[in-house]
Amino acid sequence: MSTSPPPGLQRIRPRPTKVGLVAGGLGAYWPQFPDLLPQLQRSARRVSERLGQLDCEVVDVGFISDAEEGAAAAEKLRAAGCDLIVGFLTTYMTATMLVPVAQRSGAPVLLLNLQPTERMDHATFDTGQWLAYCGACPLPEMANAFRRCGVPFRSVSGYVEDERAWERIARWVRAAGVRGALRHGRHGLLGHLYPGMLDVATDLTLVPAQLGGHIEVLEIDDLRVRVEEVTDDEVDGRLELARDLFELDESVIDEDFRWGATVSVALDRLVEDFSLDSLAYYHRGLNGDAHERVAAGMILGASLLTARGIPAAGEYELRTSLAMLIMDRLGAGGSFTEIQALDFIDGVVEMGHDGPAHLAISARRPLLRGLGIFHGKRGWGVSVEFDVAHGPVTAFGVGQLEDGSLRFVASEGEVVAGPLLQIGNTTSRVDFGCHPGEWTDTWSGSGVGHHWALGTGHRVGELRAVADVLGLELTEVSL
């Protein structure tokens, strides 16, 4: 399914993924086999063309034939600041031609061994024609040299128009794009930790150290002052947008609805002023003061931001806002989620939250429900209610372990139909193909916290690629 925002919402334009491409072969062959180099260059142009169709910006530094040209290509790619370096092994080439490229770029490296067609015409081929199919020959050499130089790499073997190979290549490009989004991202952290939630607490140094990016620590007053500046016309416009996007339950109180729209406009301004790519928030407040009212009015605006590609997570859940960002950039949506209950008759885990939802993955037109009180939190207002589109889904969380390392945890299941609570939560019934109690025990012991992102599609393969380019472990919960 598409994760484009509903009509009326404009999705943010994420930073483009930049892929560096260098193709090469051993220059000693060119005078021996005059037709070989032009054939290999045609293949290199086709690979460049197909990479450009993967929603990325290609920095093609051309074809190299020796170590000196490899060193020059390495400098060009280093200066370009690529998210992924693709080395296309068109025929045999020595490791000295690509090792400098891999060492200097600072980006993950993908080696391609794509021969011209599915197989050679053995009866008619001479040595020169065979060499065009010889990209597999240097792959073990490159792999050995890279390992000895301490350079991580991954590879894809196939042929130039091999769709299976291009599916794997596209996965690495998407993974590199997620890595780039994290490394260049600005992640807002507004308010304070929900009292007592030790699993939610995140060492702010570990995020830029392991994922990259910047944590912008915000005060509730940063939002309050922007709330105070919102005009009546802006509120009216946001109310009109909300009425177009949501079904309004009769429990919605006009005053609370208008307040949620006011906070929503202010949230947009906060995100713009601080150039945020994600936001995690919580503030308790007391006795109906301005801070409590602001914090209670955030769900509508946070859901609209999430649908536009700027994920917002409640309860100060920085790691979950990052998990939501990763899922969003993979095209999976990603809604703020926790376990709500287990249904042992239907064999499903009920999960969701009374908080920010990704409207683009709703199974139906989302509902706005009025809440007199939020569970475990101070305040009142409107909350979003829906279930994620029925079909394949992935639960995905970022855990922090005792040594401070971050870990990805994921589990694939399916959202199925069944009874849902009508309490302003984003409840989904997820069948993980096993006993719900056993799944819950295994999931809870994986190192994940008590919140995560729920996104559409089976995404473990893509998440494993993201973990690889980030140098993290991924634990798949599958019974």
- pLDDT tens profile 55-64: 999 999 999 9
Q: Token pair of 379, please?
A: 């305040």
Whether 157 and 208 share a structural domain: no
Whether 170 and 301 share a structural domain: no
Pairing assessment for the beta strands 84-89 and 56-64 based on DSSP bridges: unpaired
User: What are the Cα distances from residue 437, in Å, to 190, 332, 346?
Assistant: 35, 26, 12
Domain stops at, among 140, 158, 182: 182
Whether 156 and 254 share a structural domain: no
Give the residue ranges of the chain where pLDDT is below 50: 1
Whether 308 and 197 share a structural domain: yes
pLDDT for 355 = 72
- Which pairs count as long-range contacts for 126-134, CB under 8 Å and 24+ apart, including other chains? 127/33, 128/29, 128/32, 128/33, 128/35, 128/36, 131/25, 131/29, 131/33, 131/36, 131/91, 131/92, 132/36, 132/39, 132/40, 132/43, 132/90, 132/91, 134/91, 134/92
Q: Which amino acid is at 414?
A: E
Whether 173 and 283 share a structural domain: no
The SS3 call for residue 219 is: coil
pLDDT for 475 = 97
- Consecutive H or E run containing 407: strand 406-416
Pairing assessment for the beta strands 333-343 and 452-456 based on DSSP bridges: antiparallel
For the entire predicted model, the pTM comes to 0.94
Domain stops at, among 160, 182, 204: 182
pLDDT digits over 230-283, tens only?
Answer: 999 999 999 999 999 999 999 999 999 999 999 999 999 999 999 999 999 999
Domain stops at, among 167, 182, 197: 182
pLDDT for 374 = 57
Whether 41 and 135 share a structural domain: yes
pLDDT for 375 = 54
pLDDT for 415 = 97
Structural domain contains residue 366:
yes
Whether 100 and 200 share a structural domain: no
pLDDT for 373 = 60
Whether 99 and 207 share a structural domain: no
Structural domain contains residue 12:
no
Whether 170 and 273 share a structural domain: no
pLDDT for 349 = 98
Region of residue 197 (phi > 0: left; psi between -120 and 50: alpha; otherwise: beta): beta
- The answer to whether the CB of 305 falls within 8 A of the CB of 279 is yes
Structural domain contains residue 5:
no
Q: Work out how many domains the chain is built from and give that number.
A: 2
CATH code for the domain of 303? 3.20.14
Structural domain contains residue 8:
no
pLDDT for 4 = 73
CA–CA gap between residue 383 and residue 386 (Å, rounded): 10
pLDDT for 376 = 54
Structural domain contains residue 383:
yes
Q: Which domain, by its residues, includes 232?
A: 185-476
Whether 165 and 209 share a structural domain: no
